[in-house]
Amino acid sequence: MAQPFSQIPDGVFESGQHRETLSITLPDGREALLPVTGVSDVSEEAQLFCSGLYKHQSNASASVFIAECLDRVQEAAAVAAKDQPHQQTPKASDPSNRPAQGDIVLRIPVETSGRTLAMELRRFETRAEAASRFLHRFSIPFVSDSGQDTVALLSDELERRCHAMEVWELHIAVNEHRTAVLRLASTEPTQGIAQIFCEQDRFALKGDELIQCMDQARQIIDGQRSNFTSNQFSHKHGAPLFSIPATLGSMSTKINFFEGDSPLLAADQFCRENWEQIEKDAPNVEVSDCVAMLNQTLTQVLSSMQHP
């Protein structure tokens, strides 16, 4: 059996600074030892460690490996924290142990200036809020060198990933004066998530107000779940709104666009599902280029149908 290897990311540790060593099984099956300064927050070490391991992979596969690697480092840190005898497992019911904006429902790698950083999307925040928090944290300009709105670009990427991972964004009226965002995966239980949402300290709901909030949250979540199931069925069995031809090397295919689809999400799904063939035929094209071009085409066709 191969011995685990140890990697100390550049710029994180000074000699003898680390206090813990995490044992990690990497996505490619290798065993690794990662020294960290502590197990309570390993975000920085994980980002440098994982991006360093997979920076030589192709763009498409590197993103997948890095995202999985980040998750495994976090899991190893959580196990190590539980094994420490002087630490007690936080109680979920204790408000002081809950993140201010909710727990993390999605984590994606972002390439910037030769680094791969993790952008996190929390349960009770919008995509724009997550993008702004990420840019602030890593001191990244809000406007790119080419003049593009970085928050908008990252928000679009989060939208694509949420769609692919079946993570929903719901807007729920807490009371007659306030509406807030709730984000959940399609597989999460309705009752538990509705309760977590309405019991947030910032709402300070009690008695009938709390019961009304939970009832409404459950109705909205169940409604979304019903619509999601119906849309899945109609997409498999219904006729598309329109189709456009596409050529991938020697293979001819078509892109089906259904009622209620987003041009951006439809473009992203097609490009990612067919990326292996697209990359062979056009090695200099990035996924983002493919999505942008196809999104423009789908938007133009849809606009021409809506406004003939």
- Say if CB 216 and CB 173 are below 8 A apart: yes
Res 2 pLDDT > 60: no
pLDDT the model gives residue 91? 41
- Say if CB 60 and CB 77 are below 8 A apart: no
Gap between the Cα atoms of 165 and 106, Å rounded: 9
CA 246 to chain centre: 28
Strands 115-122 and 104-112: antiparallel
| pLDDT cut 70: percent of the chain above it | 77
Nearest to 246 by CA among 221, 195, 210, 282: 282
pLDDT the model gives residue 271? 81
pLDDT, tens digit (0-9, with 9 covering 90-100), for 58-108: 555 666 777 788 888 888 888 887 776 554 444 434 433 333 345 788 888
For the chain, the DSSP string reads -PPPEE---TTT--TT---EEEEEE-TTS-EEEEEES-SS--HHHHHHHHHHHHTTS-HHHHHHHHHHHHHHHHHHHHHHHHH-TT-PPPPTT-GGGS-TT--EEEEEEEEETTEEEEEEEETTS-HHHHHHHHHHHTT--SB-TTS-BHHHHHHHHHHHHHHHHTEEEEEEEEETTEEEEEEEETTS-HHHHHHHHHT-TTT---HHHHHHHHHHHHHHHHHHHHHHHHHHHHHHHSPPSEEEEEEETTEEEEEEE-TT--HHHHHHHHHHHTHHHHHHH-TT--HHHHHHHHHHHHHHHHHHHH--
pLDDT, tens digit (0-9, with 9 covering 90-100), for 242-281: 899 887 766 778 888 877 777 877 787 788 778 778 878 8
Look at 76-85, 188-197, 219-228 and tell me which has the smallest mean pLDDT. Answer: 76-85
Res 120 pLDDT > 80: yes
Most confident of 50-64, 70-84, 167-181, 192-206: 192-206
pLDDT the model gives residue 85? 57
- Give me the residue spans of the domains in the chain: 5-83, 95-165, 167-237, 242-306
Residues in the chain: 308
pLDDT band at 210 (very low <50, low <70, confident <90, very high): very high
Gap between the Cα atoms of 173 and 216, Å rounded: 8
Query: Whole-number mean pLDDT of the chain?
Result: 75
Look at 6-10, 140-144, 220-224, 283-287 and tell me which has the smallest mean pLDDT. Answer: 6-10
Gap between the Cα atoms of 189 and 8, Å rounded: 40
Specify the pTM: 0.49
Nearest to 74 by CA among 18, 112, 36: 36
